[in-house]
Structure 1
Amino acid sequence: TRGMLAKSYEAAFAARIFEQIKGFGSYGFPESHAASFALLTYASSWLKRHEPAAFACALINSWPMGFYSPDQLLQDARRHTLQTRPVDVRHSGWDCSLEPFGQAQPAIRLGLRMIRGFREEDARRIEQVREAEPFLDVHDLGRRARLDARALELLADAGALRGLAGHRHKARWAVASVEPQLPLFAEGTVIEETTVSLPLPSRGEELLSDYALLGTTLGPHPLKLLRGQLKARRCRDSRELAKLGHGRPIRVAGLVVG
């Protein structure tokens, strides 16, 4: 208030103005913070309502951010009947993308970024060489995209080679037969491996591999595989909870997501 007094303002007036400024300082930042978030919330709500596929796809590509994991976002997308497609080296880029689908909303194609430990530079090479010509098999993929054994193993374990080699067990067998490429034999003939009949992975194996490599699954919800065991242990499902009385002890099961 000294500056105001020096300019001949009355002390009572100066004190009143100071108190008003001090009061605004206690809520000025929250007010502006709330206003900016209100705009973001409005825009997000509009996108979620009118362009849910693009909204979910963008959120996954922006992860890590916010409170929701890709698994939660994809489970929500599926509950809202959005089509989701798996990681596939024949179609996936680094980012998740939108693909034409015969419905109002496009399908969400999971990107190679979903594979834990997979390098972006490897994904970019896959994108680049695939534009020139589709991959013939796992050997062709490894040679043209210059992928090392680690990258091929990650693709196999993530189920991303299904279109080139079959299910995960077959894909793992296929990548094991890819020899390191040496300059002298860069254009050499690929040695044909003996065909081996391998069993299909069980639903449990697929689920474990999905969560270990991708952090999500496009298969059945994990609890669906345990439904029988949970009922045997008298666990209640979410549909039953509203019908139960207050204060009654019950047993439930769920998936820890964060």
Structure 2
Amino acid sequence: MRAQLDAGDMKALASANALVTLTGNRRMAMWDAAASVPERDLMRATTLAEPVLELAPPTEADDIVADYRHVGLTLGRHPLALLRERLNKMRFVPSDILNTFSDGQLARGCGIVTVRQRPETAKG
């Protein structure tokens, strides 16, 4: 490898879904990253003959959860998009429709906390 990446670097890239174009999905990237950096001592001279492992791709929800866990954000769909049908049945209103409501009109809404105020109150 020209970049001289170690196992930790490869795992970080795979966890952040940065290797998906090389492997097809995050799970295969994690597997391939673990195998791409040869062990230093015990396994160095060993040659392995194993069949190619095909891991099932993660679901969209799995990818979104992993993105938030490893990177703190996702470039995919908003997490609530996966729940929209269920939220509509519970009469939660999407933000684009809330924008059409008049002042004082009652509505149900939900979302994700992205930033917490510090200090929590004006008095600390």
Which residue of 50, 58, 66 corresponds with 1:201? 58
Question: What is the CA–CA distance in structure 2 between the aligned matches of 1:168 and 1:207, rounded to whole Å?
Answer: 11
Cα distance change of structure 1 residues 242 and 168 upon mapping to structure 2, 3 Å threshold: closer
Write the deviation string for residues 118-160 of structure 1: whole angstroms up to 9, x where unpaired: xxxxxxxxxxxxxxxxxxxxxxx4xx43333222211111111
The alignment status of 1:176 with 2:51, answered yes or no, reads no
What's the Cα RMSD here? 2.4
Q: How far apart are 1:252 and its partner, in Å?
A: 0.3
Instruction: Name the SS of the counterpart of 1:197 in structure 2.
Output: coil
Write the deviation string for residues 190-209 of structure 1: whole angstroms up to 9, x where unpaired: 64542122111100011111
Conserved? CA contact 1:157–1:209, under 8 Å: yes
The alignment status of 1:161 with 2:19, answered yes or no, reads yes
Question: What is the CA–CA distance in structure 2 between the aligned matches of 1:248 and 1:152, rounded to whole Å?
Answer: 52
Which residue of 220, 229, 250 corresponds with 2:77? 220
Q: How far apart are 1:163 and its partner, in Å?
A: 3.0
Unmatched tracts of structure 2, length 5 or more = 116-124
Question: What is the CA–CA distance in structure 2 between the aligned matches of 1:173 and 1:239, rounded to whole Å?
Answer: 41
Question: What is the CA–CA distance in structure 1 between the aligned matches of 2:69 and 2:56, rounded to whole Å?
Answer: 21
TM-score normalised over the length of structure 2: 0.72
The alignment status of 1:146 with 2:4, answered yes or no, reads yes
Give the greater-gyration-radius structure (CA): 1
Q: How far apart are 1:189 and its partner, in Å?
A: 8.2
Question: What is the CA–CA distance in structure 2 between the aligned matches of 1:218 and 1:242, rounded to whole Å?
Answer: 24
TM-score normalised over the length of structure 1: 0.38
**Higher RCO (CA 8 Å, separation ≥ 6 residues):** 2
Conserved? CA contact 2:14–2:30, under 8 Å: yes
Conserved? CA contact 1:152–1:175, under 8 Å: yes
Question: What is the CA–CA distance in structure 1 between the aligned matches of 2:46 and 2:22, rounded to whole Å?
Answer: 19
Write the deviation string for residues 204-231 of structure 1: whole angstroms up to 9, x where unpaired: 0111111222222221122211211211
Q: How far apart are 1:168 and its partner, in Å?
A: 0.9
Cα distance change of structure 1 residues 243 and 218 upon mapping to structure 2, 3 Å threshold: closer
Question: What is the CA–CA distance in structure 2 between the aligned matches of 1:192 and 1:202, rounded to whole Å?
Answer: 30
Aligned residues: 112
Q: How far apart are 1:165 and its partner, in Å?
A: 2.6
Question: What is the CA–CA distance in structure 2 between the aligned matches of 1:238 and 1:175, rounded to whole Å?
Answer: 40
Cα distance change of structure 1 residues 192 and 165 upon mapping to structure 2, 3 Å threshold: farther
Question: What is the CA–CA distance in structure 2 between the aligned matches of 1:162 and 1:243, rounded to whole Å?
Answer: 39
Conserved? CA contact 2:15–2:26, under 8 Å: yes
Q: Which amino acid aligns with 1:217?
A: T
